[in-house]
Structure 1
């Protein structure tokens, strides 16, 4: 993401302008003293501009990210930031290459050798160009990149898609990623398999990221064949009753050849009647994932008949008033993972190839700090652990990810 690029470049410029580096540069390149002062001044102005851009991105609502004009502007920011990173590496290599001791030797080890050496004059000229490019990008943003109204349709569609993507990730989690759910899974399986012939409503509740969808999906895959028909549909904050009913019907008939052929053309009344007729004689299992309001369930429940066949409905929700709709004694409240289980899951995802998923000692403090930001949420731990698994196992890389993580959690 552009924000990570900006943080990296800002950090590198700070290193380049550090007192020790500037002092050694002055002694080694005294004949370029004026050019060095100009170059360091330009780098200082660039870093201030980058900080402002970073702060602007930090404040922007994530829904603005779906705007095509904004994305084009952001891509240009990335290109300029990468160009500045190259110039900082060139500058630091020039500063440190003649002295492999002291401050510059330390700095040089953390930088990559440039593909081709540029003179300080060339570096200075290119940094001035970058300075102009950033000023131009700032003007472009004021002129062409509007802040999108919160009610903008494309923003709303983006948030819906994002919610669906996260739900799909949750549904695809492996059994090994479901940590600390044994008791709740046992209760859920027991309620689904009970001899009670009355149709019962089960609710799974808790804040986002606790694994409600993952747990429901895990049990659904194992238990659905015990029912005559089954369906899984996502509701989300904005839903169309007709679309949801169509999706339920499609799911119910997915593995049969006898389904209605004109589902797409049915109006709301036809959809309701078709669903009632089919479910009337069936023992069914239906999952309504991510229900936000009691009204949303009431809209749909009129079509979900109670037929004395032992059918089951499962709702996942963040809302207490929705969870309260459950049949008596059939609410599962998920809680964040305790520290020990959260650590086990984090290490399992971050260090899958290490013996017993052991965390290297030099990464332990940073790993604990990263994990603390996940707040015990399994989905966050799995996502971040999977990211760390494919990154370099170095203190520098872990620190960079840790520094950026607060922004990511806030906006995603």
Structure 2
């Protein structure tokens, strides 16, 4: 959808955002069977698609006949067409030796597949393709962006995800029409001061990754944004910001925010963050990560439109019962909840059961107690339950009628559990069960249950 918007294919419709209009286009394509819906998320939003083979062939022919784009494939002898405005580079293993004759006409460059080239034509493109709107180079092992990129005054999408770039040139401050900047999983930890001049920026992805499994407390990182964060008033996505005094003070000025991820959050920041979140009436996705495992996160804020919440860090005692963030009214639209490193001493399920619309619940190092009990009628819409790294948990009870819609159950590294969950046979909607890093006694006790056919069980006992 962001690429469609950058290309100018999406037009404003009433009070809807361009992103909302683009999503309505996707729904229309699905309804007309032009796209096949492969997967929805837990609360029904479209997530993955497939194009039918016949339609794909038709689209490829239309692109070729109308000079819509160029395809360059290293392993098939080069460029299929030379007069299109859009270049798709597929599975590029070696550098392209000859510049394209139509380079000055290029408006879009996208790399796909397992490309390994350093893309030596990038400096030429930055100098010669002055009207470029989309530059999507994700996955390429490039280490530097030329200063000349600042001359691409019409650039609306810059994708550098999974590259080796460590620094952006100062000239990016000239990209005044930029809508999306994707630096996720690159080596960039700080943005140039001029980034706050990009007042049209709508989506900023800049999260670093240390541990893909998320087992370490500091598994990811955000970027520092210098003074002037409040200038980016059109931001809808910010993933992820490294919290600092100045940026936290200006956070509330980002009132168009839909998806916000914060790292390095200290307990003293929580009051300012809560005050800022109240200003974000459209916020649907919130991810807050403490600076260390002893920092206490206390967000006293009601976010009625919040759909996904991830808290990583210690939660204040009693917060699940007192904070409006977890109350039935404040969390009426909350569908997905992840609590990590929360250090809870009391069973959290009685409090969380008030969130009756939850479809996904993940608890990772969140509870230090010995027992969890799911009572009849609790979590009626829950589809995914994951319990991971709960070292003291020795007993898990599931009463009949609890989690009536559960489809996936994952239990990982519950070293004190020697018996399978009591009542697991009541989970008649289960489609997949995963047991990882468990004891052999657990596996043995599991044999007494006659689980229905069609379930996939992955059991990995500890050594």
TM-score after normalising by structure 2 = 0.22
| Bigger fraction of residues in helix | 1
TM-score after normalising by structure 1 = 0.24
Larger of the two Rg values belongs to structure: 1
